[in-house]
Amino acid sequence: MHKHPSLPVHFLSPVLPPFLSPPASPVSTAPHHSAAAMPTVSVKWQKEVFPGIEIDTSQPPLVFKSQLYTLTGVPPERQKIMVKGGILKDDADWSTLGVKDGQKLMMIGTADEIVKAPEKGPVFVEDLPEEEQVVALGHSAGLYNLGNTCYMNSTLQCLHSVPELKSALLSYSDTARGNGIDQASHNLTLATRNTFGELDQSVRPIAPLQFLQFFFKSDSEQTLRKKYPQFAQQHNNVYMQQDAEECWTQLVYTLSQTLTSDASESAVLSMKQLFGIDLVSRVHCAETGEESMETESVYSLKCHISQDVNHLHEGLKHVLDCPVCSFLLEKGIKPKGKDFTMFYCQKVDYPLELDVYEFCSDELKQKLQAPRQMLRDAENAKFGLKTQGKASSSKENEGSSSNTGESSSMDIDKGKWFVLTGFKLILLVCVLNAADPSVPKKQLTGVYDLVAVLTHKGRSADSGHYVGWVKQDDGKWIEYDDDNPNIRKEEDILKLSGGGDWHMAYICMYKARMAESKS
């Protein structure tokens, strides 16, 4: 076989015409960065020196500043690094700065405060002590239903919202029984004090056993059952549902007898100072023309409700202006021969802000004019409006002329809280603070804000279900449905005006809006 000698093989690129030849690559004029182009420098900051810091000259100086931030904690915007020509800028060209390997740079700047790890980890509300849980929760605990006792629970929750009443109860000692106070009333007052204390210190529902025991039962000859026998009624050995208004009335009356200056500290206001309303009635004899004035003090106003009454003001005016005035009209009617109260289911609106100026006597209207003007000026200043001075009070002066047609008027100068019942209205008035010269003197204005509503759901006062709705200091409302408190909105409260089988306002409690005297 003939073998050819091996020859080298050459792969020749085809020769292309100039117009098909690819364009020549441009010659880069940028400097070539090699390992030698990353100088290592040291940086002096305050009393510290940070050696061996490499500078990547292919990156802007902001990257170098970020390196220093991780070492010193000085943010880039606060760093002032001295280089050739002045202070290093974020967009400077390294090639013009002449930074050399081993060079020592100086930096000025204030470091951020070092974020310390929290000393304590996150704490859940469930892990807090019970007294701290009460503060975190924002409202008091609920009350267990001990068998048809929702009437009692709702009453206690509404009255528990009165801070002045709680102060009076706290000052009532175990040995404070005064002259003429029976043991049963004394025990009931102590039970109320202790129940309020438990509500303030617990986040879990409590069972008001002590209060229930002393309310209608006593170990000594069942004194309280004799005093309030209606609350001990039973059916098939089960205690029956009762009227919350009767419970409210009996409890307030008992506390008015025990919480006096003799039994508690003199600085504590009495129940009459808190809830008292003076009613002045003019009795006129049509035949002889003789007239007489009668004054009585009550702890609540009964609002008469008929088919023609659609608002709280109308019911109050009907009671106070009627020729033959009765202050015992209920929201319901009691048919003859029956021992229960039937309820009207018509809708009767009530305001969040109640102004009782038109129901006051002429003398009291004169006293209220100056505080009412101060209140208006304060509210106008709060919203950046101009004060009206004495001009607006003239309109109230016109309305304060002698009203010969009125048969009754109201004197709220002594009350602090205003209560409407049956629809029953309860006016709740603040402390005057007149005894403490360091506290600005506060005066009544005749304007009251709704702070609690006791509602009933059902067709009879002695059946159905009672619930308390209480306004908190932060403005939110809490629905106390026995042992289940729920947060509610203000618009939910306005829906309690009746008109169906939903909750219907039965007792409304208002707190006085006071005016601070500058003198």
Of 162, 345, 175, 190, residue with least CA distance to 254: 190
Nearest to 471 by CA among 205, 163, 150, 134: 163
Question: Which residue among 139, 150, 360, 456 is the active-site one?
Answer: 150
Is the omega angle on the peptide bond into residue 423 within 30 degrees of 0, that is, cis? yes
Smallest CA-to-CA distance from 379 within 437, 438, 430, 449 is with 449
Closest by CA position to 425, among listed 451, 395, 396: 451
Cβ-proximal residues to 285 (8 Å cutoff; 6+ apart), any chain: 291
Clarify whether 430 is annotated catalytic.
Answer: no
Q: Name the one residue in this structure whose structure tokens are 């990257």.
A: 63
Catalytic annotation, pick one of 160, 304, 465, 503: 465
The answer to whether 412 and 429 are in contact (CB under 8 A) is yes
Burial of 158 (0-12, 13-18, 19+ CB in 10 A): buried
Chain Cα centroid distance, residue 295: 37
Mark 57-77 as b/e (b = at least 16 C-beta within 10 Å).
beeebeebbebbbeebebebe
Nearest to 419 by CA among 251, 293, 276: 276
What residues have CB less than 8 Å from 249, skipping those under 6 apart? 299, 300, 421
150 among known catalytic residues: yes
* Nearest Cα to Cα of residue 406 among 276, 290, 316: 316
Other C-beta atoms closer than 10 Å to the C-beta of 273 total 17
Give the three-state DSSP class for 340.
Answer: coil
Characterize the bridge pairing of strands 504-512 and 424-428.
parallel
d(CA 469, CA 478): 6
Residue 185 Rama label (left phi>0; alpha psi -120 to 50; beta): alpha
Does an H or E element contain 333, and which? strand 332-333
Per the listing, tokens 């009550």 go with: 298
Give me the active site residues, please.
Answer: 150, 465
